[in-house]
Each structure stands twice: as C-alpha cells, then as structure tokens.
C-alpha cells in the first residue's frame, strides 16, 4: 500500500543523516537545578525556571488548594462560563503589578501573542518586526494578514526607515519586538523604539516572555527596566517561564483588553486555565513581590557564570541576561556538543536552524536563582573539558 505520509519519514531520515534529529529527553523529577533526566542526574541549564518557582512548595500548595475548592477543570471557554473569580483576581493582580489599567490572561504566551496581533490588525495594516522576534509573534502577524516589514535585529533607525517609507500608506502600523531575545539573551533598545513609534504614530508592542520576572523592579519587565511606563501600548508576558507555571498575559488600556475579550480567538475558542494553574500563578506573584532577593541571586549567578565562561574562552555572543548562548557554528556540532555534555552530567540544549540562522548554531544555557555557585562552577568545568575534547575550544 502506498503511504501518503511517507515523505515525513524521508524527512526524518534526512535529519538523522544530518545529525540534527532530536529525541525528546524525559525528566523523571521536578524541574530543579539538578534534575533526573533519562535516568541520569544532571545539572539543568535547559529550563526557563529563572526564579526556581516551578517546584516551589507555596505554588504547589496553592495549586492543590485551588483544585480542592474549584475542581480540576473549568468546563468552558472564558466567554461562556469558564471565567471564575480566580481568573479575574489574577488579571487584576497582574495589571496592578505592571502598572497598567487592565490585563487579560491567555492559555500561553504563544496564544497571547498570536491571538493579540491577529485580533487588532487587518490586511490593510502594517507590522514592523525585529528579524529575531519569536515564532508566536510571526504567526500572529501572518494570521492578521497585515503586511510584514522585517527590520535588522535591534536596529531602531532601520525600523524608523521602514515607518518613514510607509508614511503615505493608509492602515495602522504596529512596531513589535521581543523584550529579551530568547536565543541570544540580548535586550531590545526599547527607549529608541518607543521614540520611533511615537514619531510615526505607531502602536508599540513588546513581548516580555524572557523579561517577566527577570528585568525591572520585582521582575516587572522591560518597560519598567527602561522606565517607559505609559509609553508602550501593548505588553505581553508569560506565566510559563520565571513565574513557573503556564500561561500568557497581555497588558494595556481597559478598552484594549475589553476588545481582546471580544475578538482574540484563543480567548474565545479555547478553554480557560484550570484552577490549579491560576492558584499557583497567584502564589508566584506573591513571592516575586515579597522576595526580590531571588532576582538579585539570579543576576549574581548570571554574572558569575558568564565571567567564568568568558575566562574559559567561550564565545557567549551578545547576551546581557541569564540566557547565555555558547556559539559553535554548525547545527550538527551544537547537537553533538549537547549530547556529550549530557553524558558528563550537564543538561544544555543544542539549537540550530531553523530556530536560529544557518551557521549560528549554539548550545543555550539558562542559569536560575536556585543554582548554587558550586553547581555553576562544575557546569563550566564540564563545558570546558568537553569543548576542548571536541576542538570547540583550543
């Protein structure tokens, strides 16, 4: 019998030949600085659990409490009968935290970006987008069917140039950027971008997935970091990374959020978060408010780890945040390096095309507030030893 899906098997075989095929690794423990993965104890530099909240007892307890009171699921989408008082409380809490009028929580950061951009723009509109923006932004842009104008990474004057060319065009303009770029760990030049957006009357939107809980006072994000309150119309954040649970949120004016309640498709057509998720998120914001020392430790760990990597001779790219790429060039080498590190007790992901451009493959590391300095020193020792063996370091 002819198998109409045979082309997929051929593609998989090609990935195996190229050395870029990846088997899923399985955690047999909670996500922690040292995790059990594929039956092996490894230092985990592969998670986004920046503040160590994913397995925090207070979050676990809050999830259980909310489950006992409200049940395991919500039974409907938000606009039908799936909005519990818990959901509204979380949105109010985040809006206050971010110093904005209102907030809506989505099932994930991905749906927050994709659902928002596609809801507010139409085919006659224009999007000015950093070339390294996240896939969920790109998908949202495509879903909107607006014209997409990509500008070189972090180049605010190039963004201004695009908007200048579009001045005579009708249609709305959206200037959109990641706050912290997920593969490189560098920060958007938000002050310059805001100025450009203001000059051309564009909507300014930022995706703070990797800045939430990391940048700004108590982890309020990039807008707070650069003190640009009131000048960014749309702020997206995630509850899946530093916050330690799952979800995405969008912050802005009351009417903008109301509009999303009526038009954002993931909000209208996909069931709301289970109570456990909402309860755990509330507990996470409580901790972020009361324990700013976690973020301080995240940053001191970051500085220590980066300095040790650089002293060992690694190329860590343009990173300014806890995301530190170790640049190796070819995707095949990145994946081999990652597998060899794992055998030596270090979990760090190899990343190649199409997630990053061809020739810019890397092993990405993310330190957290809960790693000890000893664990980080041991990680650098493993990285250097394996890299020398593989001729990545001379």
Ligand X SMILES: *Cc1c(COP(=O)(O)O)cnc(C)c1O
Among 33, 42, 86, 110, binds ligand X (CB under 6 A): 110
Q: What is the smallest separation between the CB atom of 221 and ligand X, expressed in angstroms?
A: 12
Residue found under tokens 């960014």: 232
Residue 194, token pair as written in the block: 């805001």
Question: In terms of CB distance, is 63 or 380 closer to ligand X?
Answer: 63
Number of H helices, E strands in the chain: 14, 13
Asked if residue 178 binds ligand X (CB under 6 A), the reply is yes
Q: What is the smallest separation between the CB atom of 201 and ligand X, expressed in angstroms?
A: 26
Whose CA is closest to 43, among 344, 369, 311, 335?
A: 344
CA atoms 219, 225, 230, 231: torsion sign = negative
Catalytic residue status for 182: yes
Size of the site for ligand X (CB under 6 A): 14
Asked if residue 109 binds ligand X (CB under 6 A), the reply is yes
Long-range contacts of 254-263 (CB under 8 A, 24+ apart): 254/101, 254/102, 256/102, 256/120, 257/101, 257/102, 257/103, 257/104, 258/102, 259/119, 259/120, 260/104, 260/115, 260/116, 260/119, 261/78, 261/79, 261/104, 263/119, 263/120
> Site residues for ligand X, window 4-23 (CB under 6 A)?
none
Q: What is the smallest separation between the CB atom of 71 and ligand X, expressed in angstroms?
A: 23
Pick the catalytic residue from 162, 210, 233, 335: 210
Pick the catalytic residue from 35, 144, 182, 212: 182
Structural contact between residues 82 and 76, judged by C-beta atoms closer than 8 angstroms: yes
Question: In terms of CB distance, is 52 or 179 closer to ligand X?
Answer: 179
205: β partners: 176, 234
Report the C-alpha gap between 178 and 190 in whole angstroms: 9
Q: What is the smallest separation between the CB atom of 150 and ligand X, expressed in angstroms?
A: 16
Q: What is the smallest separation between the CB atom of 182 and ligand X, expressed in angstroms?
A: 4
Q: Which stretch binds ligand X (CB under 6 A): 22-30, 108-116, 292-300, 314-322?
A: 108-116
Cβ neighbours around 148 below 10 Å, total: 15
Q: What are phi and psi of 170, to 5 degrees?
A: -80, 180
Q: What is the smallest separation between the CB atom of 214 and ligand X, expressed in angstroms?
A: 11
Question: In terms of CB distance, is 125 or 178 closer to ligand X?
Answer: 178
- Return the ∠ at Cα 365 (arms to 364 and 367), rounded to 5°: 160
Three-class DSSP category at 286: helix
Pick the catalytic residue from 162, 173, 241, 273: 241
Cβ neighbours around 209 below 10 Å, total: 30
> Site residues for ligand X, window 117-156 (CB under 6 A)?
134, 136
Question: Which x/- pattern over 348-377 shows residues binding ligand X (rule: CB under 6 A)?
Answer: ------------------------------
Asked if residue 182 binds ligand X (CB under 6 A), the reply is yes
> Site residues for ligand X, window 193-252 (CB under 6 A)?
207, 209-210, 238, 240, 248
Residues that bind ligand X (CB under 6 A): 108-110, 113, 134, 136, 178, 182, 207, 209-210, 238, 240, 248
- List active site positions: 182, 210, 241
């Amino acid at each position: 019998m002819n198998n109409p899906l045979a082309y997929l098997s051929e593609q998989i075989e090609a990935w195996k030949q190229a050395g870029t095929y990846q088997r899923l690794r399985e955690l047999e423990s909670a996500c922690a600085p040292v995790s059990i993965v594929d039956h092996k104890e490894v230092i985990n530099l592969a998670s986004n659990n920046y503040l160590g909240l994913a397995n925090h007892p207070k979050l676990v307890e809050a999830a259980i409490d909310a489950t006992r009171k409200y049940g395991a699921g919500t039974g409907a989408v938000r606009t039908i009968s799936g909005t519990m008082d818990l959901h509204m409380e979380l949105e109010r809490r985040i809006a206050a935290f971010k110093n904005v009028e209102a907030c809506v929580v989505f099932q994930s950061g991905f749906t927050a970006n994709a659902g928002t951009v596609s809801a507010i723009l139409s085919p006659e509109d224009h999007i000015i987008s950093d070339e390294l923006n996240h896939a969920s932004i790109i998908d949202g842009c495509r879903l909107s069917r607006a014209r997409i104008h990509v500008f070189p990474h972090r180049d605010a004057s190039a963004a201004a140039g695009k908007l200048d060319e579009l001045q005579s065009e009708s249609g709305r303009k959206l200037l959109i950027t990641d706050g912290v770029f997920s593969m490189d760990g560098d920060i958007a030049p938000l002050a310059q971008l805001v100025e450009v957006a203001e000059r051309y009357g564009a909507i300014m939107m930022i995706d703070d997935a990797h800045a939430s809980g990391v940048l700004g006072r108590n982890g309020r994000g990039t807008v707070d970091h650069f003190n640009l309150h009131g000048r960014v119309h749309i702020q997206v954040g995630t509850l899946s990374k530093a916050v330690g649970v799952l979800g995405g949120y969008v912050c802005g004016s009351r009417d903008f959020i109301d509009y999303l309640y009526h038009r954002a498709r993931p909000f209208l057509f996909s069931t709301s978060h289970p109570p456990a998720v909402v309860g755990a998120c509330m507990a996470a914001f409580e901790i972020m408010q009361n324990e700013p020392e976690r973020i301080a430790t995240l940053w001191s760990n970051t500085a220590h780890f980066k300095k040790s990597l650089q002293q060992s001779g690694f190329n860590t790219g343009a990173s300014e945040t806890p995301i530190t790429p170790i640049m190796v060039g070819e995707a095949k080498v990145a994946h081999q390096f990652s597998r060899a590190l794992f055998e030596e007790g270090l979990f760090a992901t190899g990343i190649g095309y199409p997630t990053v451009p061809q020739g810019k493959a890397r092993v990405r590391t993310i330190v957290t507030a809960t790693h000890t300095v000893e664990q980080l020193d041991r990680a650098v020792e493993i990285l250097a030893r394996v890299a020398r063996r593989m001729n990545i370091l001379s």
